[in-house]
Structure 1
Amino acid sequence: MRRVLIHLIATGALCATTAVGAQGLGDRFKQFVGGMDGSSNNSAATQLPESDVVSGLKGALADGASTAVTQLGQTDGFWGNQARRIALPGWMGKASGMLRGAGYGDQMDGLQLSMNRAAEQATAEAGPIVRETINNMSVADAYKILQGSDTAATDYLRDHSGDELAAKFEPIIKRTTAESTAVSRYESLTSQAKPMLKFVPGINLDLNDYVTQQALDGLFTVIGQQETRIRQNPAATGSAIVKKVFSTVSN
């Protein structure tokens, strides 16, 4: 039975390997800052201090990040959201039909649930790192973000906090998944199959690393969605400074 299972896993792994930016935002930004270098008489530009620009951008990013952490960092934040639910590792997903046929369906379901619960617990701890990264944003960073895409602030946040968040997430995920018998069985199976799976390119057999990366992808995807929404309708935030900054560059 063990040899059959390892064959199924390896077959699934091989199958697995064969298997908007804001419109004109850059131009509007040039108009916005034009009054500063004499190329435009745009009164809004000349009257908006750089401190307001920084405050507005930080406020928008903080709002989006807070919403994302709150939404995903609770029970069913990942598991109860079909768009964000973390799937089984690719090779296992491709082999799921064969594995379920071999009687491993319950273990696979338990494994997926454990992965998503671990991501939820880790994401709940993201707040302090995210806030520190936002607070450290410079004036130069703010103006660069302002002329960027609909997710420029999110991209900045991932670039400057992604590694630290991954280091924070992984031990939480490891601790949470360690409590699941389904995960221990997964690790036993991959250990048995590793001699064959290691020859298949692109396969990540480290479950904790896989869940960590999926959790980060989910977190920054939701932050990006929030940023896009704020840019498109800054008045809806209820923040005067956010509305002031983004309304100026979106007109």
Structure 2
Amino acid sequence: MKKSIIVSTLILSSSLTFAFDLSAIAKNVVENVTKEQTTTQETSTSNLSDTTVSNGLKEALKTGVNYAVTQLGSNNGYLNNTAVKIPLPDNLAKAETLIRSIGGDKMADNLINSMNTAASKAAPKTAEVFVEAIDKMTLTDAQAILSGGNDAATNYFKANTSDSLKKLITPIIQETMKENQVASYYDTANNLYKSNVKGLVDNSGVMGLAKNFGVDSFIPGSSDESLDEYITTKAIDGLFTMIGQKEAAIRANPLEQTSSILKEVFGK
């Protein structure tokens, strides 16, 4: 009986030892394979020339620009895209509920539609500005963007295209918004409010009366930014957003790497 127990114990002990050894071996194998894969990946990446890396990034950004311009320049490109849709300006947005509650739906919708339509009309004209900025990109710029976060390209574009985009887009926005009577009312009212009316309203007690009725928060204030400036800024922000989305997709999704150089640079 004792002999049997001893034998069983030895067998169990041997089995456990073997199991532990097998576990250790498996762990070592996994670690070695991981190291080899990492080394292979690093070697493969380091084998890419600086020119290849730079060209790959530039193609990715041009793909992003083409995507943004095509999407946002289409009919209702801004309006139907929740990520970039241009809302009413802040100083009018807080009055939107009140405006709609007294039958002003058509006026509010008209202004929102016009702002987004103006941005969509301007979008196709911006491609040249972006492409020029990409072509001027240095190797240092490209490396910083490639190793940076998903907003690295957006930050580069903000620094290198914002002024040119404003000069290009503003006249298109102004021309388009001339057709909208509500927009002209907005600018006229806003300018009057900033110059004279605000003081009269405060002195006459109308603001106090509004507070008594609990609607003072709905009274729009003035803004130093004209409606054209507001739309231009939002239109540019929307372009940056869409380019950034496409760049992030190319970085993360092999299916978005649609050319050999994109696969070579981002597939690593």
Structure 1 counterpart of 2:34:
none
State the match for 2:61 in structure 1.
61
- The change in CA–CA distance for 1:197 and 1:244 in structure 2 (over 3 A counts) is farther
Question: Which of residues 203, 211, 229 is equivalent to 1:209?
Answer: 229
Look up the equivalent residue of 1:60 and give its one-letter code.
Answer: A
| Distance in 1 (alpha carbons) for counterparts of 2:70 and 2:53 | 26
Distance in structure 2 (CA, Å) of the matches to 1:237 and 1:124: 24
Say whether residues 1:222 and 2:242 are aligned partners.
Answer: yes
Q: Deviations over 1:126-172 (max 9, x none)?
A: 11111111111111111111211122122212221111111111111
Change beyond 3 A, Cα 1:112–1:197: farther
Partner of 1:10: none
Contact 2:257 2:267 in 1 (8 A): no
Report SS of the residue matched to 2:125. coil
Query: Aligned partners of 1:190 and 1:41: how far apart in 2?
Result: 59
Matching of residues 24-43 of structure 1 within 5 Å: 42-43=42-43
User: Which residue number in structure 2 is paired with residue 150 of structure 1?
Assistant: 150
Report the Cα distance in structure 2 between the residues aligned to 1:237 and 1:160, rounded to whole angstroms.
25
Cα contact 2:193–2:222 (8 A) shared by 1? no
Q: Which residue of 2 aligns with 1:110?
A: 110
Could you tell me how far 1:235 is from its partner in structure 2?
4.7
- Provide the residue aligned with 2:189 in structure 1: 189
- Matches of residues 155-170 of structure 1 in structure 2 within 5 Å? 155-170=155-170
Q: Distance in 1 between matches of 2:41 and 2:97?
A: 66
Corresponding letter in the other structure for 1:100: R
What's the CA shift string for 1:65-121, capped at 9, x where partnerless? Answer: 110110001210011223322101111110112233455432222111111111101
Structure 2, unmatched stretches of 5+, are: 1-38, 203-219
How much has 1:186 moved relative to structure 2? 1.8
Q: Which moved more, 1:231-240 or 1:120-129?
A: 231-240
Aligned residue number for residue 257 of structure 2: 237
Counterparts in 2 of 1:42 and 1:91: CA distance versus 1, 3 Å: closer
Counterparts of 2:198 and 2:251 in 1: how far apart (Å)?
45
The answer as to whether partners of 1:204 and 1:210 remain within 8 angstroms in 2 is no
Greater CA deviation, 90-99 or 56-65?
A: 90-99
- In structure 1, distance between residues paired with 2:131 and 2:225: 32
CA distance in 1, matches of 2:224, 2:116: 17
Cα distance 1:46–1:193, how it changes in 2: closer, same or farther (>3 A)? closer
Query: Aligned-residue CA RMSD in angstroms?
Result: 2.5
Identity of aligned residues (%): 36
Greater Rg over alpha carbons, structure: 2
Q: 1:123 and 2:84 equivalent?
A: no
1:90 matched residue in structure 2: 90
Aligned counterparts of 2:264 and 2:221: Cα–Cα separation in 1: 50
Higher helix fraction: Structure 1 or Structure 2?
2
